[in-house]
Structure 1
Amino acid sequence: MVKCQRGGFTSSATRLDHYYIHIFLLLLIFTLLAIVASGFVLATSQRTLQRTEKLKETVVGIGDDALGTIGRIMKTTKQMQYLLLPYNPQISATLDSTTEDLRSNSRVIRRFIDRSGKSFDKATHTSYVAHLVVLTINLVTLIAALILMLLHWRPGFIIIILFFWILTSLCWFLTGFDFFLHTFADDACSAFEDFEKNPQNSSLGSMLPCINDTFSGKLIAQIGNTIHSFIVELNSNMSMIYRLLGVGEENEELMGIMKVCDPFSAAPNFSYIPHSCSQDAIRIGDVPKILARFTCHQEDTTKECRRMGRFLPESSYNMAHAYSRSIQDLLDIYPDLQRLSKCNIVKNKVHEIVLHQCRPMRISTSMLWASMMSLSIIMVFLVLTWVAEAIRCWEKPISTCFHTP
């Protein structure tokens, strides 16, 4: 503008002719910049899609792990319910109620998995396809614009400028969407970090699949108390069992074998310490193996049972087997119950997200937004340059349109 003012009041066509080389160079520079920026946005969009897919797999994996754990617990509780129903209907009814609570939590987690997976897929794939389509058309239009300029087809300028304006508007729309995506990723990572520090007061506490604290705490305490009390009573009555088996208390070796392992501490904590038992203590699940040697089966006669020292009725053995097997099943699933109670499954996955995925995701979405905004700015200047070239060329004869005066 300063140069034009110094040169006097000449016509716009003369001024555009004078700066034809400058406009032509600007067209080439902005076109090359737009091509490079489009390629960079495509590469960044692909990288963002991959990282988002990885994040989705981790988040959905939280629910899958929780569902697997709950499934194992439900299978065990159903088996216990079947074993104890003939001997203790009250406990069987309690187990049925527990199974229903677990099934309810399982349905909540299943809805979380389905909702999260669909939301991730819809957002990420829609964004990637939109970027791919717009930028592919943009690259084709940029190349077509260069060809039309070399062919000296002036009506094609109007078409090119119209396409560029539409593409520029779409680029700015995608820039806004990428900014939203970057903000969402940053907020999501901040929420994961808050959940890792304080799960109870985190905004994700109601979304991530953790069993209700009140239910899980009562369940864990009740199970620990039940198992501990049962084993303590069993061991305290061991002398009576020795007398029934005809074994003297002086047989220390057998007494050691018959000691049942109690992996829980005393009240009120009932802490689970699986390695606290002595080496000569037996698992409660192995008690039926010892009682089987002294069990008189229905097909055996009373005389045969007395001769072989089998005085324990088969019905008593079946009841003992049902209780000991149920208690052992509870002990087997107790670590899973603890993980659900303390929400360790979720906490471990969230820790993995915060440690390994949040920073790359933030960088990727930030680069996508920045590169898309750069492309949008370049497209604005490119369109304005094409408008200037179209005006200059339209006011000149076609034979001199693309030649230096």
Structure 2
Amino acid sequence: MSSGNGGCPNHILLLALIFALNFTFLSGLPTLSESGRRRRLFSVNDSGGHLDDTVRADPLDGLKKYRGGYDVTNKHYWSSTAFTGFPGYILAAIWLFSGVGYGGFLLVRMACCNGRKKANIRLPCSNNCHLWPLLFAVFFTVLAVLGCGLVLGGNAKFHSTANTVIDIIIDTADEASDTIYTTTGAMKEMSTSLGRVTGNSQATRFLTSTSERLDKQADDIHRQAAKNRRLIDKGIKIVYIVTTVAISLTLTTVLALLALGVLKFQRIARILIVLCWIFTVICWLFFGIYLFLQNFAGDTCTALKGFQEDPYNNSLSSILPCDELLSAKSVLSDVSAEIYDMVNEVNLNISTSYGSFVQICNPFSPPPSHDYQPWDCPPSSIPIGNIPRMLRLLVCPDDAGGETCNGGILVAANEYYTVEAYTTSIQRLLDVYPGMESLVECQTVKDAFGEILESHCGPLKRYVRIVWASAAFLSIVMAALVLVWTVGAAHSLRRHSGGSVKPQDGGRPSETIESGVTKDETFEGSEYH
């Protein structure tokens, strides 16, 4: 009888200690910040070949080819990827300098010709002469409105999809830290329970120090996730707001220019032409920026696909260091094997001492897999977490007194409370075991990235392609529209700078105008208000 009473609690105690002591190996894992400094790049395989398309000219390195692969922590990756939008940047610069040059030419011309009046001969102009510029202006204005709508719609869709992708990634990191917090909570409870019955033993010190180290790692993951969420959200929001505001102002300006041009408010119209010129520069810049974002989105989706194939050799492990959790994976496997062996040993001890009237549920499958599957236990078996309840029905601690024992087997109070504390704590650890297994196997990240690849990568690349293509279309239309209005304004200014002489028509005497315009003017020959 004594061997049975002592053997069962001691074996369960040993089972708990093995689980607790094995977790101390996790304390040797590097933190996220350490792993970030030693992460391996996904883009380079063992043969040195690139699996992605990140070999690009790097302006920070004299336009030499960047060959470092997809690495969001490398400034050379960012500079080489941002440089892919150079067609938009160059066109924006050309348009800007051409506008500045033309404006300077007009200022010099005005300064040189100031005070010099030149009589110009007004040639007769047919109705078509005035109608065609107006038709071109209306036509390009309609196209500009269409282009603005495409950019605004695509930008809104891109912003929404990008936010969804970022939320999935950051929530995955938060879920990882929550899993660690849940595990350390169980370990702390186990340490507290053990401390009540054994005092400040080696096991309690191990549990306390290990839980503190794991808490620090979870804090680091949570802190980095929160920081990255703020930075990325801020960046995406800035791009979205700037694009929306600029394109909305462009839309307003081109409509106002058409209205004021037709109504012959030419001085205000000239100011709007200058604004349209500036907005055209901005549209070219948007074309380059979103072309860069499309390449970045493509790189990211390619990296996510590579992560699905090999999560242990990928720069995306900055979110979760899967490569450095390999050691924890072996520890977790050892823990499951030890628990399996110890539960079998306890059951053998119970069978030897008391017969097979009751067995403890072994939550792990036989070797070599040792899968966690508590649902496969026989219906008559007792889960480890129910052992305290069964003990209360069968035995009593020797400090309980005869009034509360009700005929149960009297056992040492220390052994009774030790078994009760450990079995409860072990069950809590077993409850979080699936989460820890998923974390160590990087299944959490695989599932999250799989969702992004399946549901969001396609729309993300499609919407950013719509934005840059629409921005390019809008830029071309704006350039044509500005040229139409600029030519019209220059022609009008040339016709009415100084005096003008109208030739005789049908034998009528000519009229000389000192300043101003005649009443026959329409689209180009209108009076400047």
TM over 0.5: yes
Tell me: CA distance 1:73–1:273, structure 2 relative to 1, closer, same or farther (3 Å): same
User: Displacement, 1:131?
Assistant: 1.5
Higher mean C-alpha displacement, 169-178 vs 342-351 = 169-178
1:47–1:364 contact (8 Å) kept in structure 2: yes
The yes-or-no answer on 1:33 pairing with 2:143 is yes
Residue 311 of structure 1 aligns to a residue whose secondary structure is strand
Q: Is the contact made by 2:397 and 2:412 (CA closer than 8 Å) also made in structure 1? A: yes
Q: Where do 1:251-400 residues align within 5 Å?
A: 255-256=356-357, 258-266=358-366, 269-292=369-392, 293-300=394-401, 308=407, 310-397=409-496, 398-399=517-518, 400=520
Q: What is the CA-CA distance between 1:380 and the residue it aligns to?
A: 0.8
Q: Does 1:145 find its partner at 2:235?
A: no
Structure 1 position 392, deviation (Å): 1.7
- Unpaired segments of 5 or more residues in structure 1? 1-10, 243-248, 250-254
Given the superposition, is the C-alpha separation of residues 83 and 155 from structure 1 closer, same or farther in structure 2, using an over 3 Å criterion? same
Deviation at 1:355, TM superposition (A): 0.3
Match of 1:104 in 2: 216
- Structure 1: which amino acid aligns with 2:155? S
Amino acid at match of 2:163: E
Aligned-partner Cα distance in 2 for 1:210–1:92: 29
| Secondary structure of the structure 1 residue equivalent to 2:453 | helix
Determine the structure 2 residue equivalent to 1:165: 277
What is the identity percentage for the equivalent residue pairs of Structure 1 and Structure 2? 29
Q: How many residues align?
A: 381
Shift in CA distance, 152/324, structure 1 to aligned 2, threshold 3 Å: closer
Q: CA RMSD for the aligned pairs?
A: 2.8
> 1:161/1:364 Cα in 2 relative to 1: closer, same or farther (>3 Å)?
same
- Equivalent of 1:43 in 129, 153, 163: 153
Farther-moved stretch of structure 1 (369-378 vs 84-93): 84-93
Tell whether the 8 Å contact from 1:66 to 1:209 is kept in structure 2 after alignment. Answer: no
- Taking the aligned partners of 1:160 and 1:16, their CA distance within structure 2 comes to 26
How far apart are 1:294 and its partner, in Å? Answer: 2.2
Contact 2:385 2:426 in 1 (8 A): yes
Contact preservation (8 Å) 2:311, 2:322: no
CA distance in structure 2 between the aligned counterparts of 1:78 and 1:195, rounded to whole angstroms: 34
Residues 172-197 of structure 1: per-residue CA shift (max 9 Å, x gap): 11222111222222211111111112
Contact 1:112 1:208 in 2 (8 A): no
Matching residue within 310, 313, 316 for 1:204: 316
Task: Name the CA shift for 1:212/1:91 in 2 (closer, same or farther; >3 Å).
Answer: farther
Higher relative helix content:
1
- Mark the runs of 5 or more structure 2 residues left unpaired by the alignment: 1-119, 497-516
SS of corresponding position for 2:360: coil
Specify which structure has the bigger relative contact order, considering alpha-carbon pairs within 8 angstroms and separated by 6 or more residues.
1
Task: Determine the C-alpha separation between the residues in 1 that align with 2:255 and 2:185.
Answer: 64
SS in 1 for 2:313: coil
SS of corresponding position for 1:298: coil
How many angstroms apart in 2 are the aligned matches of 1:371 and 1:360?
16
